[in-house]
Amino acid sequence: MPHTRCYRNGVLTDEDFPLEDVSEHLGGGSTVVWVDLTAPDLEHLQLVADELGLHTLAVEDATRGRQRPKFTRYTGHDFLTAYSVTLDVESGELVTGEIAAFITSRALVTVRKDDEFPIDGLLSRWDDNADLIEYGVGALVHGLLDFVVDGHFDAVESLDEEIERLADLLFDDRPHDKAVQLRSFELRKSLVQLRRVVLPMREVVNSLMRRDVGLVPEEMTPYYQDVYDHVLRATEWTESLRDLVTTVVETHLTIQGNRLNIITKKVTSWAAIIAVPTAITGFYGQNLPYPGFSNESGFIASSALIVMLSAGLFFAFKRNDWL
């Protein structure tokens, strides 16, 4: 069922009325109407398009989905696309919810492909700032953008925390090579997706605030400025995380190389120590007479030589931190 709301002079007067009554509600003075369609069929969307005179290309974009975050102007209305984002901390996957919005002077129509976009959170945002609704559609659009951008900010913050945890694994006493590689791949993938939906929002909000658009009342300008500031912060934070996760991956490779060098050095040191008794016993095992041949003194001399040389190599390697 489509969600519908009607505000008169900033006060919610009607809710969940049929789509056929949209024109009737718009007929009254000082009214603002909101319509929300989820996975709409062409019949429902075309009904709203005929009621409000929506452009065919905008209707096609809203129906197809998978659009880049953008703000486009058409004759009689504007078209907006944005994405809500949520980070699944367990899997590291970024869950996105697309929403398209048709903006007229007195109506806001939102279209969602599925229920990934948390529409209840948007309604709560509008209800919490009910005093702003008197400024018309511009206040509804502000609530939508503010809700979306706050979600971006929360996702960036969650990614930052996960990358910090990933960095802690690098310097753990026990190696976590596989876990670090898998987690870094998941976070890099989510960060790329987040960057695709966060960066264009700067242009979207900036375009909405232009005076020739006429959507933002003077009283709402500070609120839009605040949203724009949050967009810039989320954008800069996303870019810094991109560099940070790259640094983490490079550091992981460096640590792996250092660990391999240490292992190689230790193995080589032990091989050198083991080579001493191998050489001595091999010498005394030859089938020719030599000093101490077939005598107990030869066994004592070879054993003492093995112990002395092996101990000498051990302490020499230990002093040089090779063992």
Which of 209, 236, 256 terminates a domain? The answer is 256
**Model confidence, pTM:** 0.77
Domains of the chain: total: 2
Same domain, 208 and 274: no
Residues in the chain, how many?
Answer: 323
CB under 8 A, 24+ apart: contacts of 267-275: 268/322, 269/313, 269/317, 269/322, 269/323, 270/323, 272/313, 272/317, 273/310, 273/313, 273/314, 273/317
Rounded Cα gap, residues 217 and 212, in angstroms: 12
Same domain, 283 and 210: no
Which of 207, 238, 256 terminates a domain? The answer is 256
For residue 298, the enclosing domain spans: 264-319
Same domain, 173 and 284: no
> How distant is the alpha carbon of residue 115 from its chain centre?
20
Same domain, 202 and 314: no
Q: Would you give per-residue pLDDT tens digits along the chain (323 residues)? A: 688 999 998 899 999 888 888 888 887 778 999 999 987 766 778 888 888 888 989 988 888 878 899 999 998 899 999 999 998 888 888 999 999 999 998 899 999 988 889 999 999 999 999 999 999 999 999 999 999 999 999 999 999 888 888 888 777 767 777 777 888 888 888 898 999 999 999 999 999 888 888 888 889 999 999 999 999 999 999 888 888 888 887 777 777 777 778 778 888 888 887 887 777 777 666 665 666 666 777 777 777 877 888 888 788 777 776 66
Same domain, 155 and 35: yes
Count CB neighbours of 192 within 10 A. 12
Domain CATH for 193: 3.30.460.20
Which of 233, 256, 279 terminates a domain? The answer is 256
- DSSP β-bridge partners for residue 70: 81
